[in-house]
Amino acid sequence: MQAKIIRSGFGSLLYLPEKKCVIPVVMDIGMYVEILDVKSLSIKLKQVEFETYEGCTQIQIKSNFDLELDCKVKPTGMVPGKYSCSIDNPKVPLDLSENVAVRNICVKAEKVKILYVAPGLDVHVADVTVTVMPES
């Protein structure tokens, strides 16, 4: 910006700003979703019946759009069995007042053959992948 110089009535100079250019400010606006504290999440399976184990964890979701959650479980191969996962109420509507939704993710392992595995604590038996899709 360059200033104009004019003489005032008292013999001194006045500097007045002059507009030389306007620079537009732009931004990309897109869909935003975050699962909070993801590094601290885990699911501990506990025996509920013979050869059947279940466990759940809660996730907190922040987003700026209506979305739907899905999950897939991938066994590590350490403990043979049939693994499945589910999410309670997978549709997450946008809530402008709080904008944090809580959902339970559960894993069920059936026909588990633990006799083929050495005993241990917190044995890594599967991974759950959560996917997010805009609600249609």
Q: How confident is the model at residue 115, as a pLDDT?
A: 85
* Under 8 Å between Cβ of 84 and 108: yes
Domains of the chain: 33-134 (2.60.40)
Q: In the chain, count H helices and then E strands.
A: 0, 10
So what's the pLDDT on residue 112?
94
Residue 13 Rama label (left phi>0; alpha psi -120 to 50; beta): beta
- Express each pLDDT in 96-134 by its tens digit: 777 799 999 999 999 998 887 888 899 999 999 999 999
- pLDDT (tens digit per residue) in 24-76: 999 988 888 899 999 999 999 999 999 999 999 999 999 989 999 999 999 99
Contact 66, 32 (CB under 8 A): no
Q: How confident is the model at residue 89 (pLDDT cuts 50, 70, 90)?
A: very high
H or E stretch at 57: strand 52-63
For residue 7, what pLDDT is reported? 62
User: Backbone phi, then psi, for 47, in 5-degree steps?
Assistant: -70, 130
Q: How confident is the model at residue 3 (pLDDT cuts 50, 70, 90)?
A: low
